[in-house]
Structure 1
Amino acid sequence: MKQKLLVLCGGQSSEHIVSRMSCTSVLNNLDANKYEITLVGIDLDGGWHYLDAKQTDLAKNTWLDNSSMVEDVYGLLKNQDVAFPVLHGMYGEDGTIQGLFELAKLPYVGCRVMGSSVAMDKIYTKKILDTVGVPQVKSVYVKKRYDEKLVVVTNTFDEIEEIEDYIVRELGMPCFIKASRSGSSVGCYRCDNQTELIGKLSEAAKYDRHVVVEECIDCIELETAVLGNDDVIVSRVGQIMPHGEFYTFESKYEDEESKTCIPALVDEQIQEQ
């Protein structure tokens, strides 16, 4: 008997199109002999739509043309065996949709609510890594207050309004500016001098009121994947070779010049670390 599998894509985040690209890959690799697939797309306004998994081209702007609205989301969830949220960014990887699945008692692929929520937030992730002694680049936390003013927030929660001088003094130039709860390098900018700071901080704050600023270091970028709970499977270490100054959205999804090398071109000791 086939398992009823709900596949979700799209979403309301700035990574909406990335989700649809990822979902195409997932659908191409699912075993139709094992799963009865229900494909649902979430539009940018939060509407849920039934899609034909075999006929819909998720890459096209017409992806919703032949869809039908999901009138009863809870009823849909209760009629599935497992959910596969192929969603990126806010409302997809931040614990939100995971909480909905928990309420519906529907098993799902991926991290649970707490892990998703914390790992989506760069600032909280860095604080946790710091407590367990994981080495990190120096960083500064900036937030956009509700009066729209940008301020540095210190570890003692003091607010500093002279943010340009503070960041240059603490981190130097160049630095990287990142929206705290955004992925795929959306809201991520390299800042080469002090005159660019406010402009790029303001751009990042359009994606999230919380922004992390990190010192720039000359490094090799490595990645690995971890699967499982009690019995964890760790993939080989990969090395990212971006085309350009850093691994931008365009480098990840549009530029064919960027490469990933697996296994990474580093010695075994570094890979084991």
Structure 2
Amino acid sequence: MIRKKYSLILACVTLAVIQLSLPAAAEDPKDILWYGNSFTLATCCGSSVSVPNTFRAIAASAGHPLPRMYNASVNGQSLQWHLTTPSQLDYITTQISAGENWEHVVLQDFSTGPTHIGNLPEHLSSTLALYQAVAAHSPQVVPVLYETWARGYGNAFYTGVSPSFPGGPTQMQQELRDGYDLSTANINTTVGSDIAKLAPAGDAWELANFPADFYGDGSYHASNQGTLLNALVLYGTIYDDPTTSDINLTTVLNGLKLTAQDGQYLTSLADAVLAVPEPSAMVLLGVGMLVLAGRRNRI
């Protein structure tokens, strides 16, 4: 009996050693489609490199194959515009090789869309519908909701006799966070599984207290520092890597003309928000209440 047990243990150990000695399967490049505006393109308004291109450089620095991407973003446009513009939807089928499927679609809406001065119901419906349009071609595609950031201190949103956000950047970021939490949960509720991911880039800006040097045009769009922070959060979300601080970002930093100290600070912010759990059950309840309210209004 003892010999049989010993033989079984030896066989298990031998099998484990053989498995460890086998070469790891080559990682396939990710196929990623991007829909957004100047908060994704970035180069219009204060950054020298776009968020997708910075994201690609981070992925390469982390040892991943270069992702295959198409950036369908257009300055000044909402997700609803992308959804209702046939040429934008054509990219779902024309910008990927035959027989291949999109693995992720990044969705970034108007910078005020999810807030009280925007259109939260449209944000919820357009994020869901645009995801569904991509999923019709690529059923397993993972939607990534790219949460944007509040305007910087001193912006006109916070000043004057009747400011849009009397509570300043904190109030605006809370509304953005709530909106993107809701749109993420809305997709998951509709699909019936936790397929959607939230990339909380704006939360990382808030953690840093919206510093002026994160903005490239005063208090609105991102500088190279802001763009790198956004790309780090998106990288961590898409590659399921909550620790960006162990990536050698020398090449990325040089391309953005940033210092090693900048890299250390920005990765610490990204890692902090990437460690936060996904939206809670209370968010799912909030989505349900919005849907119920919409049904009552239609009745």
TM-score after normalising by structure 2: 0.32
Structure with the higher fraction of residues in strand conformation: 1
Question: Which structure would you say has the larger Rg?
Answer: 2
